[in-house]
Structures are given as C-alpha cells and as structure tokens.
C-alpha cells in the first residue's frame, strides 16, 4: 500500500481490513484505467461533485445516464457544482423503470468495454446506480458504492430495491453513518468491503455554504416566515387520493403560515391532473430550483416538509426542523440525532407538529459524526490506498 496516503481516520483494525480488501481478487491487480463515475438524477450530482474535485489530480470520467434531463434538474446543477459536461450522456430519459434501467445497462456495457475503468463509482439509490453496479459486476470491474448501507426496510420503494441490489453487488461499500455498516454486516457483507466515510452530500453543502448564506439574504419576494415543501415520492404523489389528502393538508397549513413549494416534474404532472389551485398569496408554487437557491430556502424557512432523502440530511446539518411525510426513513440518524421527525403517511399530522414549531418547540438536533465536509478526501485516501488512482 502507498505510504503517503493519509488513512489516519481509520482505526488500526479498519486499516487491516483495507489491506485485506486490497489483497482480494477484485482489487489485487488494478488495471490502470480511469475511475468512472456514474450519475443519472439530481441528488447524484450533489454527491459526485466533491469526489470529482477531490480526485482532480487523477484520471476520471463521468457518465450521465440522462435520467434527469431538464436544465432545472440537471444542467443548472453541473454549473453550480463546477462540474464539466459529462464525458458521455446516454440520454435515457423517461419510460418505465425496466426500460430506463435496461437502456442504461446497454449504454454502460459499451462504455465500460471502451474505457476499461479501474473502478466504477456509483452514488445513492437511483436507477443508474443499479444499472451500473449490475454491468460492472458482470464485467468483473470493481464497483464502489458511495452512500452504501442505507435501508428503509420498505421494498415498495424503488430506491430500496436499488439499494439492496447495488450493495449486494458492489465491492467497496462506503457508508454515510454507522447504521449503514450495521445493516451491511447484518446482511452478510464481507467486513473488509464496508467502510464508514461520512456524508458526501454534506461536503457540497459545506463547500457552498458562503454562497448559500449569501443567497439566503438575497432571496426576493418571500414571506417573512414560511414553510418549505418538497414532495415527489411515488407513494405520496402518484396516487390521486393520496395527493388530494396532501393538498388539503397544505391548504390548512397555508391558512396559518405561507408555503413555498418548488415542484418536482413528477409532482407537477400529478398536481395538474388534480387541478389544485391554492391562493397565490399563501402558496408560492414554482419550478425546481438550483442547488444553492434551494438550500438557501431551507436555511430561511421556519420548517421543511418533505419526502426526500437528501433534504432530511441537509435540514439536519442546518438545524432546521424537518417533517418527513413517510412511514420509514433509510436515514435514521437524522431522526435519532438530527432535526428530523418521521410523521407517517397521514398529511393531517403535519399541522400539529408545525404548531409546536411555531410556538418555539422545534427539534434542533445535532450534526452526526463525519458530516464535516471531508468525506470526499476520506474516500480519495481509500482509493489511493487501493492503488486505483492514476495521474491525469
């Protein structure tokens, strides 16, 4: 193993595990190819950026599946995160999950055959993550999963299926919180393949905090106090009856506190079908926002109502009360130590919790271990330790 690598964040036992992983068949003889990052959807871009920047001295490529394609869901993120255009865009947009995943697999198989990656790096739980880990496993290319080990326990969520398969197939499982290690070891993952590195999404937040703070002071046309809403999970928005319960609850909330609601395309289509038309002076419905503006809104808000995974984490870092409209979370650390409250699936439960916040009894919480802006450097040290990095 290379001497200069700073692996001081690992315990002596963890270093021993890393050495064992390095000696394992998948990692024993790196092929000298580039590191290839696979992304497809909005939250991936926020996780890619810190590692891409940390790996700047080394050969690396970015492949975008094209799952998210609108400027507001993709292009604006690449710009704000200082990411170059992807080396390859597979333009796989829309369609069913099987169509999306299958087309991404076909494109990736050809790309991996041409690029001969030293390793493929996948992020989170979206369809391109699943597709890439499947293709890499069959082509005997080491697959590295950033944000491994999260489990909601709910197999009705497409993301949970993606997490389970990706973790089962990946060779190096990098977790954002220690509950991830416990989940993976309980499922029988090899101990040397599991490493706690911290939350990479928070790296981006930390790096852009000055811009976010500046943007928070410059946001215009906002009510003095407001609740930020963001919802897009199929379980909440795809079913008309469920969405109608949510909009009824939002109407009740808006009567007390104004709402700001940047709408995801999936949700927009369903809201249009429903014909929801709340009073414009109480509910600001807008397009999806760029990263800095959206986090600035979180910072300025009284509380956030969400079903997103990443937003549960960002609010925990920012110490903003977060009300999650779901029955489960794959991010329990945001509830156990952070500012997140899991409400269940009844939208009528939002208002009573919001009233507590209005009376000054919001949950503040604390920032979990290794959510410190340095996760990408810990990952880089591990990749260097495995001799996967070639000078650019």
DSSP 99-156: HHHHHHHHHHHHHHHHH--SEEEEETTSHHHHHHHHHHHHTT--EEEET-S---S-TT
> How many Å separate Cα 48 from the centre of its chain?
10
265: contact with ligand UD1 by CB under 6 A? yes
Q: Contact between 147 and ligand UD1 (CB under 6 A)? A: no
Per CB under 6 A, the segment of 9-17, 70-78, 84-92, 144-152 that binds ligand UD1 is 70-78
Residue 73 found at the interface with ligand UD1 (CB under 6 A):
yes
Query: Across the beta sheet with 194-196, what order do the strands follow?
Result: 88-89, 60-64, 35-39, 119-123, 143-146, 172-175, 194-196
Q: How far is Cα 195 from Cα 187, in angstroms, rounded to an integer?
A: 15
Q: Judged by CB, which is closer to ligand UD1: 74, or 339? A: 74
266 binds ligand UD1 (CB under 6 A): yes
Instruction: Report if residue 179 touches ligand UD1, rule: CB under 6 A.
Output: no
Q: Report CA 176 to chain centroid distance, whole Å.
A: 11
Give the binding-site size for ligand UD1 (rule: CB under 6 A). Answer: 19
DSSP label at residue 320:
-
Half-sphere exposure for 380 (CA within 13 Å, toward CB) = 21
Answer for which of 115, 159, 192, 330 binds ligand UD1 (CB under 6 A) is 159
- Name 17's bridge partners: none
Of 94, 221, 352, 391, the one binding ligand UD1 by CB under 6 A: 94
Which residues are CB-neighbours of 250 under 8 A, at least 6 positions away?
229, 259, 261, 278, 283, 347
Q: Is 64 a catalytic residue?
A: no
Is residue 64 at the binding interface for ligand UD1, with CB under 6 A as the rule? no
Judged by beta carbon, residue 264 or residue 300, the one nearer ligand UD1 is 264
Of the candidate spans 119-127, 143-151, 290-298, 376-384, the one that interacts with ligand UD1 by CB under 6 A turns out to be 119-127
Q: Does 160 bind ligand UD1 (CB under 6 A)?
A: no
Supply the residues annotated as catalytic: 232
Residues that bind ligand UD1 (CB under 6 A): 41-43, 67-70, 73-74, 94, 125-127, 158-159, 232, 264-266
């Amino acid at each position: 193993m290379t001497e200069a690598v700073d692996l001081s964040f690992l315990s002596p036992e963890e270093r021993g595990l890393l050495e064992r992983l390095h000696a394992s068949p998948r990692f024993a003889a790196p092929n000298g190819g580039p590191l290839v990052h696979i992304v497809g959807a909005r939250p991936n871009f926020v996780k890619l950026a810190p590692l891409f920047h940390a790996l700047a001295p080394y050969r690396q490529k970015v492949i975008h599946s094209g799952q998210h394609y609108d400027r507001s869901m993709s292009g604006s993120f690449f710009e704000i995160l200082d990411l170059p255009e992807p080396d390859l865009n597979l333009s796989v947009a829309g369609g069913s999950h099987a169509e999306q995943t299958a087309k991404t697999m076909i494109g990736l198989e050809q790309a991996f055959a041409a690029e001969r990656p030293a390793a493929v790096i996948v992020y989170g739980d979206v369809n391109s993550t699943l597709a890439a880990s499947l293709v890499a496993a069959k082509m005997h290319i080491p697959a590295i999963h950033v944000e491994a080990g999260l489990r909601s326990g709910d197999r009705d969520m497409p993301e949970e299926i993606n997490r389970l398969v990706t973790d089962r197939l990946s060779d190096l499982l990098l977790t954002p919180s220690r509950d991830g290690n416990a989940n993976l070891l309980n499922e029988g993952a090899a101990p040397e393949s599991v490493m706690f590195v911290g939350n990479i999404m928070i790296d981006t937040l930390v790096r852009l905090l000055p811009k976010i703070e500046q943007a928070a002071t410059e946001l215009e046309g906002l009510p003095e106090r407001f609740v930020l809403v963001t919802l897009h999970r199929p379980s909440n928005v795809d079913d008309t009856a469920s969405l109608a319960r949510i909009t009824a609850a939002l109407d009740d909330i808006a009567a007390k506190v104004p709402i700001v609601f940047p709408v995801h395309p999936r949700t927009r289509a369903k809201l249009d079908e429903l014909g929801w038309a709340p009073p414009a002076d109480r509910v600001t419905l807008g397009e999806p926002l760029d990263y800095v503006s959206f986090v600035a809104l979180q910072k300025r808000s009284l509380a956030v109502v969400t079903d997103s995974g990443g937003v549960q984490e960002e609010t925990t870092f920012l110490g903003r009360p977060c009300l999650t409209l779901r029955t489960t979370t794959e991010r329990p650390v945001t509830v156990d130590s952070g500012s997140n409250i899991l409400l269940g699936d009844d939208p009528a439960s939002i208002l009573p919790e919001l009233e507590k916040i209005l009376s000054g009894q919001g949950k503040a919480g604390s920032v979990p271990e290794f959510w410190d802006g340095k996760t990408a450097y810990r990952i880089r040290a591990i990749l260097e330790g495995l001799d996967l990095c070639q000078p650019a």
